[in-house]
Amino acid sequence: MLDFKKLIETYQEPLYWHLRRLVVTHEDARDLLQETFIRAWQKFDTLQKEEAARAWLYKIATHIAYRHLNRNRIKPLSTEEISQLLLGRLKSSTYVDYEEEGLVRFQQALLTLSEQQRTVFTLRYYDEMSYEEIARIIDSTPQSCRVAYHHATQRIEAYLTR
């Protein structure tokens, strides 16, 4: 039998960091994590197998993060405008250790990626998910995820070597 409390205990920290990588600020990630678990609780009866819980929770969290990033905009922002917005949030964050210059540059490189590339990269690199699992989370195909990951790594490498 599925235990919601166990899901929270298991996925609270990894989901927080996933959200944090997408929306940058601690406050937003914390709020979106709470919203993720509220949404998951509301739909908990639709979860059939415990093995599917990880992808299911990440999918909810990812969609909530995307909605948050696109909320309250009069016009859609370009990838560049979103990157600039998130870089501004990173620079103003009190939760960033600027002593770690390499890590800050890596985070800045991540923020130059499109939403899809950043999501695929973080799920693959940090959460070590398969392309099949990532595809289920972002409603894509494994091949598209491979391509997005490849382009993301190229853009990060180019950013870090300039």
pLDDT tens digits along 67-98: 988 775 534 455 565 555 655 655 555 555 55
Whole-angstrom distance, CA of residue 43 vs CA of residue 59: 13
Whole-angstrom distance, CA of residue 152 vs CA of residue 148: 6
Q: What is the dihedral of CA 8, 11, 12, 15, to 10 degrees?
A: -140
Residue 70's pLDDT is: 79
Residue 162's pLDDT is: 84
Mean pLDDT taken over the chain: 83
Whether 12 has a pLDDT exceeding 70, the answer reads yes
Residue 93's pLDDT is: 55
Whether 136 has a pLDDT exceeding 70, the answer reads yes
Task: Confirm if 58 and 137 have CB atoms less than 8 A apart.
Answer: yes
Count of beta carbons in the 10 Å neighbourhood of residue 38: 12
Whether 63 has a pLDDT exceeding 90, the answer reads yes
Whole-angstrom distance, CA of residue 117 vs CA of residue 112: 10
Whether 160 has a pLDDT exceeding 70, the answer reads yes
- Tokens read off for 27: 């406050």
Q: Which of 73, 68, 66, 56 is nearest to 2 (CA)?
A: 56
Count of beta carbons in the 10 Å neighbourhood of residue 20: 21
CA angle, residues 86, 91, 94, in degrees to nearest 5: 110
Residue 22's pLDDT is: 87
CATH number for the 4-160 domain, one of 1.20.120.430, 2.70.98.40, 3.40.718.10, 1.20.140.160?
A: 1.20.140.160
Task: Confirm if 54 and 133 have CB atoms less than 8 A apart.
Answer: yes
Kindly list the domain boundaries of the chain, sorted by start residue: 4-160
